[in-house]
Structures are given as structure tokens and as C-alpha cells.
Amino acid sequence: MHTRHLRSADRIIVAAGGLSLVALTACSSGSASTTPPGSGGAGTSAASGVSTVTGQSSGKAIDGCALVTAQQLSAAVGVKYTAVQNSGSGSICNVTGASITDSFYYHVDEEDSSLNTWSGELAVIKEDDGSFTSVSGIGDRAAQGAIKEFAAESGGYIIVVVNADVNNPPTASSFARTKKIEKLLISKI
């Protein structure tokens, strides 16, 4: 099953419907039944959202939703976050903000040579946001979309943060919150 479309569908649903990320987190951390986006099923436990590291990466298992706490995100960004939960859709982690407009989601996926690649991620950003711009100083390389997506590649992983700035006009075009979140997540890998 090709899961890249599932990730794009999740992004479209969240963006187009303006749905609360809280509403999308009905499932608990251990109830996922699909393969995490972009992983193609190789080296991943769908039930837990944990990527088993192989190939280019460092050899340790990563549970993206357990990398940081809401308190760590709040301290790094200066915004009150109340929860980090697995969405029940593999590796997507929903972050609930004190305000619905502060909520966002992210995922940390192992990079591989076929389905989850940097060039593939750039294509997804371009498809979703219309364009992307390379950004220096975050991870091995990074890129931001036009309005909502930001991805960084670091140590064999692709870390994607979506909608962390889109509803905050002062930071929407600069991705200021998102960059802090990316740096924090990268520091935990």
C-alpha cells in the first residue's frame, strides 16, 4: 500500500476542514492500524507508531510522539501546549494548544531509499503548499512550504511540522514557531 497519499489526505483534511486537531485524536497511542505515512511498511511497527531504524540512520528506535513533551514544546516556542498524542494514523503526532489556532501536527519518519526520501518530501510540500523554499541552519537540510509545511532532514530522518504557524499572522510567513519546533525535535533524535 502506498501511504504517501494518506499523509497528503490527512493534511488536506486538516487544512480544508479547519478541523480541530483535538477531534482528530480520538484514538490513543497504541491503537493505530495503518502503516505510518511514507514508510511503505518496511521497518515500522504500525501499532505503536515507532520507526525501527535501519539503513542510513543511527540504529535506535524512534517514537516521534515520545520525543518531546507538551511542556518542552511550550518552553521552546513560548506558546502553551497541553498534549502530544499519536493520531492513531501511524507516526502522525498531534500537538494540542491552549487555543485551537495553536494546535499543529508533526511526524518523524525514517528516511529510506524508496518511499520516504528527501526529494519525495519536497514533492509533497510543493503539491500541498504550491512551492517550497530551501532553509539553511536546520538539520542537514530543510525546506518550508508557502503557508503551512516545513520539513528537515537530519541523521537519516525526515521531520515534518505542519500548521504550527499558519494561524498566527505574526509568524505565518517566517515559520518562526516551526523552526524552533524542528530544532527541538532534531535535538532529541
82-123 pLDDT, tens digit each = 999 998 877 899 999 999 999 999 999 999 887 889 999 999
Q: What is the pTM of this model?
A: 0.70
Instruction: Pick 52 or 151 by higher pLDDT.
Output: 151
55-78 pLDDT, tens digit each = 344 445 588 999 999 999 999 999
Confidence of residue 162 (pLDDT cuts 50, 70, 90): very high
Q: What is the percentage of the chain residues whose pLDDT exceeds 70?
A: 68
Q: Which residues contact 26 (CB under 8 A, 6 or more apart)?
A: 88
Can you tell me the distance from the alpha carbon of 100 to that of 98, in angstroms, rounded to the nearest whole number? 7
